Amino acid sequence: MDNSDNKMFQFLSKHLMGPMGKLAQLRIVRGVMAAGMASIPFTIVGSMFLIVSIIPQSFPALAGIWSASFDKLTSLYMIANTATMGILALYFCIVFGYEYTRIQAQEEKVNVNPLNGVLLSLMAFIMCVPEIIFKDGAMTLINVVSKNSKIIDGWEMGGGVTRLGTTGIFTAIIMSIIAVKIYTFCVKKNWTIKMPDTVPTGVVNSFMALIPTALIAFTVIIINGILVALNTDIFKVIAVPFSFVTNLTNTWIGLLVIYFLMHALWIVGIHGATIVTSFLTPIVLSNMAANQAGANIPFAGEFNNSFVTIGGSGATLGMVIFIAFFAKSAQLGALGKAAIVPSFFNINEPILFGMPVVYNPYTAIPFFLAPMASMSVAYFAIKFHLVNPPIAQVAWPTPGGLSGFIGSGGDWRAAVLALVCVIVAFVIWYPFIKFYDGKLVRDEQTNAVNA
């Protein structure tokens, strides 16, 4: 490794590893990561039922069969979609409230109960959901029933309560933070009702949360009241920065920056995918919901594992297949054969740490460039309507091709796009891995002579 390589890694370590490592340890970030992980089964299951309902759109020949069978049951089985994707903000609120309270209890050494944290978070969030206007000197719940809008007593309806879906995730997180902070503050200051030691634990916990519950309710009422008086509410306020960030991630340049950061972290030994995607989960889920309603947003659902990082971070599937069958060095050949099966399921830790990719100047450049190239191909293919956008969530280990096919609602072109992305990524990897393979062959021959 020459001096320029050392300088590159020193720069990345100083300006990325330190700040992002600290960011990943923030309590709020850990809570969001936990909520994102917990939401995975709900998004996948909900998406599967959605796919059943839209299969005839991808395969018109099945329309007659569907109209005589599944279409008659749509209202029944799509409840599963409403109860998962349709109320995803509630799941985020529950998990974040629990995890954030647990972290506070553990690290602040405060006697706060995670279950109480969940309930208080839910209360704070639900209080923000109804839409209220300030009219004729009074606060009034909105009632609008028209062709394009249905708001009944402040609750906007659209296949369920609209604000409990993906659009409510950030509001749920913010209100959970406020609720848990107030709860923790009250317990720290002993602003709780004390009960005798003989009283059951459940009763003690309930009464400990009584004063915090009242304070949280008053706080949320004040926040909502001020915002309504200003002709807005917390959902609309959050929508401003959320829309800015969402629009940034929905641009080609924005995605280039995201994938550069994700892989720059990996280069210096930090799991970049986990850190970066935890922030993006609410955005890709919201974009996926928008696609279901007719939008055409590439960065949605499982866009990442379906098209960009096929084989794992660095888009390494093609490279792994190559070294498994064509590498001349014993090291890469053995590594490729061991890693090839996991790579088909987007698991490539054996490559990242066995090759290694981490802190390796010979693989750093393609590790950056390959996913950025595959992302570009997929982004423009979807942007120009050559392939349907992701409308359904699939499990991230789903093999490339199948993942894109399912996620797009059965568009065969998505499977072809995934294959093209694999080839594009491999074209970038090829000269670098060929050179690295040659170097290892020479090193092995030298070691054999010395031995």
Tell me, yes or no, whether 354 lies in a domain: yes
Q: Give the structural domain span for 297.
A: 243-450
Average pLDDT, stretch 280-303?
A: 91
- Mean pLDDT, rounded, of the chain: 88
Same-domain status, 199 and 344: no
Residue 211 pLDDT greater than 60, yes or no: yes
Within this chain, do residues 194 and 284 fall inside the same structural domain, yes or no? no
| Nearest in space to 304 (alpha carbons), one of 257, 259, 268, 243 | 259
329 in any annotated domain: yes
Across 114-184, the runs of DSSP E, i.e. the strands, are: 132-135, 138-141, 144-145, 150-152, 155-156
100 and 161 inside one domain: yes
Same domain, yes or no, for 142 and 276? no
Residue that finishes a domain, picked among 241, 271, 306: 241
Helix axes 169-188, 210-229, angle to 10 degrees: 140
Residue 66 lies in a domain: no
Amino acid identity of residue 380, one-letter, is F
Residue 218 covered by a domain: yes
Residues whose CB is less than 8 angstroms from the CB of residue 426 and which lie 6 or more positions away in sequence, other chains included: 317, 318, 319, 321, 322, 370
Q: Is residue 30 part of a domain?
A: no
Asked if 411 and 267 sit in the same domain, the reply is yes
**pLDDT band at 1, cuts 50/70/90?**
very low
Q: How far apart are CA 220 and CA 138, in angstroms?
A: 18
* pTM of the model as a whole: 0.80
Asked if residue 383 and residue 266 are part of one domain, the reply reads yes
Within a domain: 58: no
Mean pLDDT of 70-79: 92
Residues 414 and 432 in one domain: yes
Mean pLDDT of 169-186: 94
Total domain count for the chain?
Answer: 2
Q: Is the pLDDT assigned to residue 57 strictly greater than 80? A: no
Q: Which of 207, 241, 275 is the last residue of a domain?
A: 241
230 and 154: one domain? yes
Same domain, 108 and 187: yes
In a domain, 27, yes or no: no
Question: What pLDDT, on the 0 to 100 scale, is given for residue 78?
Answer: 92
Same domain for 290 and 390, yes or no, is yes
4 pLDDT higher than 70: no
Angle at alpha carbon of residue 343, lines to 340 and 345, rounded to 5°? 130
Q: How many CA atoms lie within 13 A of 346 on its CB side?
A: 22
- 206 and 275 both lie in a single domain: no
* Domain end among 241, 265, 298: 241
Q: What is the pLDDT of residue 176?
A: 97
Q: Is residue 71 part of a domain?
A: no
Strand order in the sheet with 155-156: 144-145, 150-152, 155-156
- Confidence band (pLDDT; 50, 70, 90) for 48? confident
Q: Could you tell me if 117 and 218 lie in one domain?
A: yes
| Mean pLDDT of the 334-339 span | 90
